[in-house]
A and B are shown apart, each in its own frame.
Chain A
Amino acid sequence: MSTILELKNVNKRFGKVVALDNFNLELRAGEVLGLVGQNGSGKSTLMKMLAGLQGPDSGEILLRGQPVRIRSAAMATSLGIGMVHQEQSLVPNLTVAENIFIDKPNDATRGGLYRWGALFEAARTQLDKIGVDIRPDALVEELSFAERQQVELAKVLAIEELVDHPPIILFDEPTSVLNPDEIKILFREIQRLRTRASIVFISHRLDEILEISDRVLVMTNGVKVADKQVDAIDRDELYTLMVGHEREKKEREHTQPVQSSRPNPRLRIRKLTDGNKFKNLDLDVAKGEIVGLVGVQGSGAEELCRTIFGAEDSVTGEILLDDVPALSQGPRQAVSNGIAYLPSNRRLEGMLAGRTLVQNMVVTYGLEYGRSRFLVDYKAEEAAATQWMSRLKVKATSGKDRINRLSGGNQQKVVLGKWLMSKKLKLLLLDHPSRGLDPGARDDLFEAIKEQARQGLSIVFVADTSEEALELADRVIVLRDGQITASYDLQQGVIPSQEDILRAMI
């Protein structure tokens, strides 16, 4: 196989942080290269460099043997390099056709004038290529999540038309927001693509990497630590290479829920209804219990968490927390009821970008450490925040670091710490807590969550995958179309198979 893309001694630094350290990479024609590494190992920097969003400090990028400088995303596109982003990059209020050709010159948009008929036709051709039946004149915001992903794929694949050689396609954690069926479809597309493109595939899910890749490359601190054919490596080996130590094989040890003196469970939900998202839902959670919710996008699992936290409108039903009514009209009321919520969209809803770690930690409960209900005590709250950061093993030089500078896993720990600072917390809701975290950071986070449950905190979380639910939860609840379709009490020894869960999901 011939080499399509080559990186030679590429360096990139951000301040004192080395993102890429004399990095070398070869991508061959028609191969799928799996790329794994912990958060902050330099994967994203590498991707951004290839997509034209960042330039190297030094080193060479060779495309088909020719040195190139990729100066912009548009230039990357014209060179035949396309990227499927982790979070979708489509413009929701434009049509599918406009989105597909938004970054490419096309006959139908020559001279800046739209010839709509021709544009829709060109888009139709691209959509047909991956065999999907989506109307080119539909607005993206009207499409389902999975359909958008397909449009995203069609958009990237349309790059083929621009260059007379096979394109390079970068997938940056494409599966983290997909359900199992959608992942299957994506993998089928990738299999079809490998005959006419070279692919770089990033995922934190090692099984996926092993399934789809031909060759896997492990990165740590900007350095390549392994480059192996997939059949020469197994999952445990991959984990060890990536995290730097072996995975501790823990038997499922489930904490006995703390025996409550009350006869009723800590959280009691009755006939909870929220528009069409879910109807007449009943759920009990004991003190110290971890409940894992599983369901596809739109199953109601995420909405349930948001509703309990008071972040959704038009809710009816009954929620009791320690026998006290706790149907919250807004997040503020939920907080005063002792409910915490870790949002799935960390950037938008979880962190105060540009503020320091301590400032992020104390925003909600700092005043619990105050001189009075209204007066801040900087010393006391900073001590508490610092203590929590070390308990959660946040990696940072000091509490005065800005949160933006941390890797995703550490940011997530800070956002979690914000809630754990409270002495009065009763219920912790986690919406996709491990999304975007590497396996090492994920294990750290899960350990912290389990520890909280042992202390008596009740926890409800929306799992990224069914494996994750089985690993962390005491009880797994499957939702579909706003209804509970299955419930497995793992503590009673009822351990469902992946297939059982999948069947209940769809």
Chain B
Amino acid sequence: MNATKSLGSNFGVYANQARGLIPLLVLILLVAGSSLFAPGMLSMGGLSSFFTDAAPLLILVVGSTLPILAGSIDLSVAGVAALAGVLIVQLHPIFGVWATPVVLCGAALFGALQGYVHAKLQLPSFITTLATLSIVTGLALLLSNATALPIPDDDSIVGWISGSLGPVPNSIIVVIAVTVILAVALRYTRFGRDLYALGAGERTALMSGVNTIKVRCVVFALSAFCAGIGGVLLSSITGFSSPSIAGNLLLLSIVGVVLGGTAISGGVGGLGSALVGGIITSWLRVITVMVGVAPTTQNIVFGVMALIAVMLTTDRAKIGIVK
């Protein structure tokens, strides 16, 4: 204990700064390493199809990062993504091309409500969103009879997303645009400040006059909104709604957040980290397939990665209290 203590304190300052750069380093090593045996991945076409594939997960990771920064967690994102995909098909006859905006607004409303329940009634976010995950996943299966339905051809929004601008897929443009707007909001608005304060110490935030309930509502609205976009992006890739996708994305979205270096305990991290984490996760997903890891074994790899990432990003200063 003595040795680790003094080591930790001597290098504490530098370690804290370096810790933030570890995920980026991991990503660079990962890309460099994989280019050795799969040079095709770094070609324009390879990258273009990689990012098309990665876009839904990236936006989910960005969305899930917000509640985690605020000291909560949103497990329902994967379910919201699945339900959003189903609803843009189901609501198309009613709203036509407006189906996507309507679904996204609905997702944000749902998220705000979820945040309100969690914050106002003081239910732990973990269990609240686990319950709503089950509810929305179930709704997605119920409404679609558990079958993947084709996206109507005349849905021009989804159509546009599936296209690309030169070699850059439109889906990744959407992801970057949303991320940049959110990042600016986090850095330059009262909301961003309150969000970080909440994550660093909820009682202090409350006693400093932060409207904790409102911040939580907005946070969960934004994460559900991002999840909705994730659902739309997913549908645009495959051309089908995918009601049973949730199980697959749930773990990956959380893994992405922690791999990027956002601390699960709240207050530390950001959207840049989220993008890095999301890309690492997606890259790993592709690489594991390429090196011949069976899809059935992939989950084991991601589970182990998640554990390692949490070990690296947890702030040991708060040791002793683990929940």
Contact = CB atoms under 8 A, between A and B. Distances in A.
Interface of A: 13-15, 54-57, 71, 309, 311, 331-332, 334-336, 341, 343, 348-355, 359, 362-364, 366-367, 370, 373-376, 404, 418
Nearest to A367: B190
A331 B196 contact: no
Interface string B195-215: 011001101111111110000
7 contacts: A13-B6, A15-B13, A57-B6, A334-B209, A352-B200, A353-B318, A370-B190
A352 B199 CA distance: 9
Interface residues of B, number: 33
Contacts of B12: 15
Contact of B206 (A331, A354, A376, A404): A331
Interface string B162-202: 00000000000000000000000001111111001100110
B185 to A, nearest CB: 9
B209 A376 contact: no
Contacts, number: 91
Given A15-B13, A376-B193, A332 B187 contact: no
Contact of A331 (B6, B192, B208, B318): B208
Contact of A350 (B193, B196, B207): B207
B200 A353 contact: yes
B209 A336 contact: yes
Nearest to A348: B203
Contacts of A57: 2, 6
B9 interface: yes
B197 A349 contact: no
B268 interface: yes
Nearest to B194: A363
B228 interface: no
Nearest to B14: A15
Contacts of B197: 352, 355, 363
B69 to A, nearest CB: 13
Interface in B54-84: none
Contacts of B188: 375-376
Contact of A353 (B5, B6, B9, B201): B201
Nearest to B13: A15
Contacts of B94: none
Contact of B190 (A332, A335, A351, A373): A373
Nearest to B200: A352
Contact of A364 (B191, B201, B209): B209
Contacts of A351: 201, 204
Nearest to A311: B207
Contact of A15 (B2, B9, B205): B9
Nearest to A366: B193
Q: Closest 5 interchain pairs by CB?
A: A335-B209, A55-B2, A352-B200, A14-B9, A364-B208
Contacts of B191: 374
A433 to B, nearest CB: 15
Interface of B: 1-2, 5-6, 9-10, 12-13, 187-193, 196-197, 200-201, 203-211, 267-268, 315, 317-318
Nearest to B11: A15
A352 B187 contact: no
Contacts of B268: 354
Given A354-B315, A355-B267, A374 B189 contact: yes
A334 B190 CA distance: 18
A384 B13 CA distance: 26
Nearest to A418: B208
A400 B118 CA distance: 33
Query: Which of B6, B191, B267 neighbours the largest number of chain A CB atoms within 10 Å of its CB?
Result: B6
Contact of B205 (A13, A14, A363): A363
A331 B267 contact: no
Contacts of B205: 352, 363
Contact of B201 (A352, A370, A374): A352
Nearest to B187: A376
B207 A349 contact: yes
Given A341-B207, A363-B208, A354 B200 contact: yes
A114 B125 CA distance: 36
Contacts of B9: 13-15
A343 B193 contact: no
Nearest to B267: A354
Nearest to A54: B5
A352 B204 contact: yes
A424 to B, nearest CB: 12
A93 to B, nearest CB: 16
B215 to A, nearest CB: 11
Contacts of B2: 54-57
Nearest to A17: B9
Contacts of A348: 201, 203-204
Contacts of A353: 200-201, 317-318
Contacts of B204: 348-352, 363
Given A353-B200, A363-B205, A55 B1 contact: yes
A350 B201 CA distance: 9
B206 A362 contact: no
Contact of A55 (B5, B201, B203): B5
A343 B190 contact: no
A355 B200 contact: yes
A353 B197 CA distance: 10
A227 to B, nearest CB: 27
